[in-house]
Chains A and B, each alone.
Chain A
């Protein structure tokens, strides 16, 4: 039986994060549930890929499906962990207040036991900002606040924050023009001196990996073990593994919010 707490807000982890790592989604929901009681969750695509291809009619149909779920839960706030979701939902859900998890965390505080945990790490993480939210200073500041709280050293590339460069994944270029996308990924990773990068988008993470770096998602830093030069860094998950992860994420969400 589901508990009858009113659902004030809903966390939408997004497709790429769910395909990347179900445990990180699970831990995020637990954290939000603890800090912000009344948080539900939806695992469903926002339809952005269709919009990116120019299929606006199909996108409207897809998004209407998601909106229906949000409205059914009665949430008036959406928390997102994906920057594409942030833009798409901000534009398409005028009745809901859309918030980025990364801008929210400085307000509600770090998960317990995470502050200062990485102060002895021997790694400097280069910070790669997502280009889709290049004009959101609150997100850039939130990300840097989180990393500072954890205790990692950081490196800013020449193009950063509002002036960040695309990871190469944007605009659905990877399936259309993989060779060009690969060059763009390498152009971006070339900007960093350090071998270790942190992103806050799972697709960006995959791009930075393809560009030849060791790359993690910021949730890996928050909820994972402390990363050092001795750590095993995640590589690329195949298509089948991604869908398995997506399924696992669904199960985790249902478990945590049962």
Chain B
């Protein structure tokens, strides 16, 4: 069928703006674009193998993310407007617990390209980049300063939240694919950055931010003042940690909670956490604080460190009341009441107020870690790419992984001499255009809590605290999914339901290959679709456009066999025998 420009334009509007293929809120918010709704409905249906396969299409870390992902998806979950968001993270872990099997892993690789890529850092970002690049047929070598893989997954996140065997298990896919990992190899010391740049076709710098920040207050040089990042790393490595019994942790982020809970496990007896922020300004996630408090950690919000007291060793710390953390412009600009002072007795003070990247290894190079391109992660030096925490902004694990994928796409294109900027709009998180409304009859279903080991049993060990969902819990939780999508017209119209997946797909088909005229001659022209469409598309007009064109191409007649009778009806309906035209009459009428 020859479509006219006008008809085509109207049709293209539907093809472009119909929301049928718009992802649900959770998936759009996921930096890795994981098909959350897909795996949740598979779990609901008991199809665990399929669920884990679907998750693995987008991440090699289902067990890691299923434990420690900060789940930004849950913040967007529509169910949150009703009672509480779905427990998406925990369902991911359930799928991994139930059905992940290395025998099912996709270890296929594209043909060897002969290109070599170096990745600096075996953290989540480097690992994901290495995985994708190796799959593309390049040969990847990872250089890791520390003696084990995992980066902050292992040396930042304590093992009671993310057991080390889970990390090793999921990292093993890199070995299986042939990625070469060089542990205990520090770039800038054991091997020069310039060397990597020369020996490899491209370099991905994903060295993380391991250098803890200190504030130069009085007493910061006393014995017993520690840095959180070093403290957690030593704990993860099993090194001896010189720590007393009364601990004060400075900082209000998730790392501060990890430090406090780790200190508790290592035998500390009284643990105070002090931070500038109060209330919902505290940067740590609410559930991290809850878990810490459950273990007896004492939160002291709204206090800024003034002085660490002691002769040679820490004996205590004083705080001044913090009255403002951010100024009116939103800049970090704390203001204190110098008169309101508080002291805490302590033998150890641990700073957990932020970390930055160790960048001395690139100092001699044309590479500024925090000045790489946002879209491609490419640096001034064209074969060097930078991502993850070392790019300058602290990232969630899932965001660091997203950087890894982004860098891999860029590097692959760079190695193939392709455009680095094309089609990159929807990488990472974005906003879903869905306009889902919750059915007022949707029953309330309470979120399933994760079971944990008793607080008493957590002391003096790093056993995993969360126990994972059992089948009943997982299915119950999966049932809560509202399956957000826009299929309003399809749900409402039998004709659309019968002939298409969505108006978008249907009109694309009209454009590409044409459709059976019976489809557009099966529209009742009732506008019900328009009433329920968030975009208010007048589909009946689009079907009428097609009818008109069909008639034009069929000598003025409908191409539908059954419509032949109408021709005769019309002739009769206009014939003298069945028509009349009567003027008004003033003849008296008996009937009223």
Contacts and interface: CB of A to CB of B under 8 A. Distances in A.
B580 A39 contact: no
B498 interface: yes
Interface in A1-59: 2-9, 15, 27, 30-31, 33-34, 37-45, 47, 49-50, 52-58
Given A53-B551, A176-B563, A178-B562, A45 B589 contact: no
A56 B548 contact: yes
A2 to B, nearest CB: 6
Contacts of A250: 578-580
A126 B544 CA distance: 31
Contact of A30 (B544, B563, B578, B589): B589
Interface residues of B, number: 49
Nearest to B492: A165
A49 B571 CA distance: 12
B570 A3 contact: no
Interface in B291-318: none
Contacts of B495: 173, 180, 184
A148 B120 CA distance: 82
Contact of A27 (B558, B560, B591): B591
B524 A184 contact: yes
A33 B556 contact: no
A175 B560 contact: yes
Contacts of A233: none
Interface stretch (A65-73, A137-145, A210-218): A65-73
A151 interface: no
Contact of B585 (A5, A111, A134): A5
A170 interface: yes
B577 interface: yes
B547 interface: yes
A170 B524 contact: yes
B563 A62 contact: no
Contacts of B104: none
A184 B524 CA distance: 9
Contacts of B522: 171, 173, 176-177, 180
Nearest to A33: B589
A131 B573 contact: no
A171 B526 contact: yes
A62 B556 CA distance: 14
Contacts of A69: 581
Given A5-B584, A54-B548, A175-B560, A184 B525 contact: no
B450 interface: no
A92 interface: no
Interface in A199-250: 243, 246-247, 250
Could you say which interface size class chain A belongs to?
Answer: 35 or more
Given A45-B573, A134-B527, A257 B556 contact: no
B586 A40 contact: no
Interface string B177-200: 000000000000000000000000
B528 A49 contact: no
Nearest to A163: B531
Contacts of A62: 570, 574
Contact of B572 (A56, A187, A243): A243
Contacts of A163: 531
Given A49-B569, A56-B548, A131-B527, A7 B584 contact: yes
A172 to B, nearest CB: 7
B6 interface: no
A79 to B, nearest CB: 12
Contacts of B540: 171
Contacts of B558: 53-55
A166 interface: yes
A3 B566 contact: no
B578 to A, nearest CB: 5
B592 interface: yes
Interface in A133-174: 134, 163, 165-166, 168-173
A223 to B, nearest CB: 10
A182 to B, nearest CB: 10
Interface string A62-87: 10010001001100000000000000
A254 interface: yes
Contacts of A254: 580, 582
Contact of A166 (B524, B543, B580): B524
Contacts of A173: 495, 521-524
A95 interface: no
Given A4-B586, A54-B544, 4 more contacts: A5-B586, A112-B592, A131-B527, A165-B526
5 contacts: A30-B592, A171-B524, A171-B540, A257-B587, A258-B582
